[in-house]
Amino acid sequence: MKELLLKRRSNKRNQKGLLFDEIDKDGSTKDKQVIADKLNMLETLMFEFLRLLHEENRLSLLAMVAYSYKEDVDLEKWLFRYAQNNQTYLADQRKNFIYMKKDFERLIKHGRG
């Protein structure tokens, strides 16, 4: 998950339009506002990924892990992309799994999995 956050951090902008590494370009890294801005951005990134790991979504994620294992395809790239593009999940875990599986299969079919 740390790797996913680092990748996401490199291209995600905060509410001021700055990338993570640009936040301190005009101030000291000891500046309280710089520290607060960086912590806010990291918190936002963590919540983006943790929402997919919410307990109600656990069964469909477990099914995706089993499916990727069966198909012998790495899930990391898909999970990163899926978390970026999906803000919610379906409460019906069967329907959610089917939706996620179709998205995963599209990624594999286009050679990006």
Tell me how far apart the alpha carbons of residues 2 and 32 are, in angstroms, rounded to a whole number: 25
> What is the pTM assigned to this prediction?
0.58
SS (H, E, C) the chain: CHHHHHHHHCCCECCCCCEHHHCCCCCCCCCHHHHHHHHHHHHHHHHHHHHHHCHHHHHHHHHHHHHHHHHCCCCHHHHHHHHHHCCCCCCCHHHHHHHHHHHHHHHHHCCCC
Tell me how far apart the alpha carbons of residues 100 and 37 are, in angstroms, rounded to a whole number: 33
Q: Across all residues in the chain, what is the average pLDDT? A: 76
Model confidence pLDDT, tens digit, residues 3-20: 544 554 455 666 677 665
What is the average per-residue pLDDT within 33-54?
72
Model confidence pLDDT, tens digit, residues 62-100: 899 999 888 888 887 888 788 878 878 888 999 999 999
pLDDT at 103 over 70: yes
Model confidence pLDDT, tens digit, residues 51-72: 677 778 889 988 999 998 888 8
